[in-house]
């Protein structure tokens, strides 16, 4: 909260309720992976169980990102990409607090102030699962190589206060 800014008790309660509801929803969605890790941990140990289940978490996260990060045919459609991702972000507002930092012709940058997945995994003792969830961003970027450039230097999963996602238009010299 900014210095000097005040939050009404109703706004604070709404914020707590929103976080609680989204974390409960994510706990329900993640419960098969959580149960699988703990069941496998009995046999293989927790670290090995996370390594075995983690790739499935990455795959599930990547599948959900298809509703966030739009497909474009080629690099020349970056303007279409920016418009579509802006619209897609609206759908994710119940789960994520997203701020558009830059929406210019050559860049679309967002900051994600919360990640319910990266909040829930540590609560259930599986903080190391966060890296598998966050890896999906890079897999989507890899699938779109030659269409746009992805940059991310901070993740909630790694302990930062936000995730910064930057999508850049490819320079004509970078397009193949």
Token pair listed for 47: 């670290």
Domain of residue 92 covers 9-174
pLDDT at 160: 94
3-state helix/strand/coil string of 48-91 = HHHHHHHHHHHHHHHHHHCCCCCCCCCHHHHHHHHHHHHHHHHH
Q: Does residue 148 form part of some domain?
A: yes
What is the count of structural domains for the chain?
1
- What percent of the chain is predicted at pLDDT more than 90? 74
- pTM of structure: 0.85
Q: Does residue 44 form part of some domain?
A: yes
DSSP bridge pairs for 166: 109, 151
- Cα separation, 142 vs 37, whole angstroms: 27
Mean pLDDT by 10 residues, the chain (176 residues): 60 84 92 97 97 97 92 94 94 86 96 92 96 95 95 94 95 67
Residue closest to 167 by CA, chosen among 59, 97, 65: 65
pLDDT at 1: 46
Specify the CATH number for the domain of residue 22.
Answer: 3.30.1380
């Amino acid at each position: 909260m900014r210095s000097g800014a005040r939050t009404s008790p109703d706004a604070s309660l709404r914020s707590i309720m929103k976080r609680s509801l989204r974390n409960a929803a994510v706990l329900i969605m993640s419960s098969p992976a959580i149960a699988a890790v703990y069941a496998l941990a009995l046999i293989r140990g927790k670290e090995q169980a996370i390594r075995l289940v983690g790739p499935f978490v990455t795959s599930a996260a990547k599948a959900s990102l298809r509703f966030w990060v739009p497909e474009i045919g080629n690099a020349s459609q970056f303007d279409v990409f920016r418009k579509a991702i802006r619209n897609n972000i609206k759908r994710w507002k119940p789960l994520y607090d997203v701020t558009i930092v830059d929406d210019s012709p050559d860049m679309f940058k967002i900051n994600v102030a919360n990640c319910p997945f990266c909040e829930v995994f540590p609560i259930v003792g599986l903080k190391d699962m966060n890296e598998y969830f966050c890896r999906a961003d890079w897999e989507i970027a890899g699938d779109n190589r030659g269409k746009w450039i992805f940059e991310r230097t901070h993740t909630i999963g790694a302990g930062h206060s936000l995730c910064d996602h930057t999508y850049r238009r490819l320079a004509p010299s970078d397009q193949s």
